[in-house]
Structure 1
Amino acid sequence: MTTRVADGVEVRSAFAAARVRLGLVALLLAIAVAGWWWTARQMRGMDAGPWTSLGGLSWFLLVWVVMMAAMMFPSVAPTIALYSRMTRQRSPLSPLIFAGGYLVTWTAAGAFAFVFGAIASRERGDFFVWDRGGQWVAGGTILVAALYELTPLKDVCLGKCRSPLGFLLGSWRDGLPGAFRMGLKNGAWCVGCCWALMAALFALGIMSIVWMAVVAGLIALEKTLPWRRIATYATTTVLLVLGILMLTAPGAIPAMTVPTSSTMPQMTPMGS
């Protein structure tokens, strides 16, 4: 069996499990919908474009966790559903503990992003200021994200995300602690797969609900589209175009706020 065929079989098996576990999938999607609604309310009027202020740590992490549930639960739901089917004779809490571990890994990634931004702003005060280096850093970040799409590391991490059965069989741990550890590990593969796309979201405007939806769509496309290479190349093309536009004509990027002197300062503490 070729890798392409095996990959398609893995995706179909996960979606088959999702159809069997409709209640669990409906719960995860309901959480995602609630996350989108809550995040849109919190972000209203806060989008200052690339490198929008992250606020205080506690506020940012609260918003980040809800964002991750909104963005990631739809694409990880088939994996959690497959895990639920494999543990149907065990605790019904296991899938929720698995999802909790997954979110904990993404929370750690968000904390790292916050600390990195705070250190960069402190060491180089003009690092993220749009009229100084901010535009070039934003464009460069998106282009790096495009290049990462074509790296072996991205390919390995995406393969793990697209092969839920292989991941579950290769990482199996019994009990609720095992469910949590498996969720952590699955989240780690997901971070490895998607960190560059999330960095591109910071460069486009972390408080933009439109670009949040676009990045979530690209993530779902890569994880679920049967034609893996087409999904990867499509994402790479989108990022390349956005990176070039950011460097040459940022005003041409749809729904992006181009920072001005009257917008919120970039990557500085807010309300802390």
Structure 2
Amino acid sequence: MSRRVVVVVSAWLVAGSVLAWVVTAGQSSDMAGMAGGLAEIGTASPMTLTGATFLVMWVGMTTAMMFPTAVPMVAAHRMVTRRRGEGAASTVAFVLGYLTAWTVAGVVPMAALLGFRHVSATAGEGRWLPTLAGVAVAAAGAYQFTRWKSVCLRTCRSPLAFVMSHDFGGGTVGALRAGLVHGGYCLGCCWAAMSLLLVVGLMNLVWMAGIALLFLTEKCWRHGVGLTRLVGATLIALGLLVALEPAVLQALAGTGSGSGEMGRQSGM
């Protein structure tokens, strides 16, 4: 790959990611109670998230977390289209297609969060909540061993092969379609780990940073496939622990009995 292309693409995508991280960090304290997770039911004020607010937040989150992982694919796309004499518009369209795929996928967690806000705060005192959370975490781990995960990860780790086989006639329209398809493969690779945020809290910056680092390492490190299986086994074990010991769920999200009492008082 052309070093110049890699540097330019990296600079733009990383700059966009940094800006999105700054905005997301600024929103996290204001929106933590609006967009929680299973671990925060009964430990914080009731969620008051609206669909429109969520989608704006989701785009910022996915830009922050996913843009660095997209650098190799976008750089490969720019290199190929540049040699064909196409301008930067086609690569911009590719990135827009990629982001559109993630934005549309945000409808699923949005529906889940909108459902969470109707769950009674007293549910946090029952056994079913940590059991459900544990199953969700273990399922995210089990997905790491599936064939679909392997196919999607292999595609994301082979940027030049993907670009060469997904031309769609070239131009901005073809680039947009290619970006949408790549976004689909990226979702297939990352959705399970991303769903952990529905357990620990959507605006949990520590978990967001850890998951983003996992995605970047999986796609770019030569031992990324082995890491995927290690993470999968860890999540399965962690999910079982959460289901058996409810206190673990609180610890994962950084909540506790003190915050729970305060949350119940604020909801009165």
Per the normalisation by structure 2, the TM-score is 0.83
Q: Is 43-52 or 178-187 further displaced after alignment? A: 43-52
Equivalent pairs counted in the alignment come to 248
Match of 2:23 among 38, 43, 52: 38
Describe the SS at the equivalent of 2:106.
helix
Hey, which bits of structure 1, 4+ residues long, moved more than 6 A? none
Equivalent-residue separation in structure 2 for 1:245 and 1:252 (angstroms): 12
1:223 counterpart (211, 215, 219): 219
Query: Residue 262 of structure 1 aligns to a residue in which SS?
Result: helix
Matches within 5 A, 1:18-29: 20-29=5-14
Q: Pairwise CA RMSD of aligned residues?
A: 2.6
Aligned to 1:159: 154
Percent of aligned positions that are identical? 33
Question: Quick check: 1:67 aligned with 2:65?
Answer: no
Give the deviation of 1:160 after TM superposition. 1.1
**1:126 Cα deviation (Å)?**
5.2
For the Cα contact (< 8 Å) 2:97–2:179, is it kept in 1? yes
The CA distance in 2 between the partners of 1:238 and 1:144, in whole Å, is 11
SS state of the match for residue 195, structure 2? Answer: helix
CA shift for structure 1 position 113? 2.0
- Segment of structure 1 superposing worse, 141-150 or 156-165: 156-165
2 CA distance for matches of 1:41 and 1:257?
20
Contact 2:241 2:248 in 1 (8 A): yes
Q: 1:228-247 residue pairs with structure 2 within 5 A?
A: 228-247=224-243
Q: Deviations over 1:230-251 (max 9, x none)?
A: 2212221342343244332416
Aligned to 1:194: 190
Task: Kindly indicate whether the alpha-carbon contact (under 8 Å) linking 1:101 and 1:180 is maintained by their aligned counterparts in 2.
Answer: yes
Structure 1 residues 218 and 264: alpha-carbon distance in aligned structure 2, compared to 1, 3 A threshold:
farther
Residue 95 (structure 1) aligned with residue 95 (structure 2): no
| 8 Å Cα contact 2:50-2:114 kept in structure 1 | no
Deviation at 1:20, TM superposition (A): 3.6
- CA distance in 1 between counterparts of 2:30 and 2:240 reads 27
Is the contact made by 1:222 and 1:231 (CA closer than 8 Å) also made in structure 2?
Answer: yes
Once residues 145 and 4 of structure 2 are traced to their aligned partners in structure 1, the CA distance between those partners, rounded to angstroms, is 32
Say whether the 8 Å CA contact 2:109–2:198 is kept in structure 1. no
Distance 1:162 1:239 in 2: 23
Are positions 1:50 and 2:50 aligned together? no
CA 1:33–1:241: 2 relative to 1, 3 Å: farther
CA distance change for structure 1 residues 176 and 236 in 2, over 3 Å: closer, same or farther? Answer: same
The reply to whether residue 104 of structure 1 matches residue 100 of structure 2 is yes
Q: Tell me, in whole angstroms, the C-alpha distance in 1 between the residues paired with 2:52 and 2:238.
A: 31
Go from structure 1 to structure 2 and tell me whether the alpha carbon gap of 1:171 and 1:205 turns closer, same or farther (over 3 Å shift): same
Give the TM-score of the pair, scaled to structure 1. 0.82
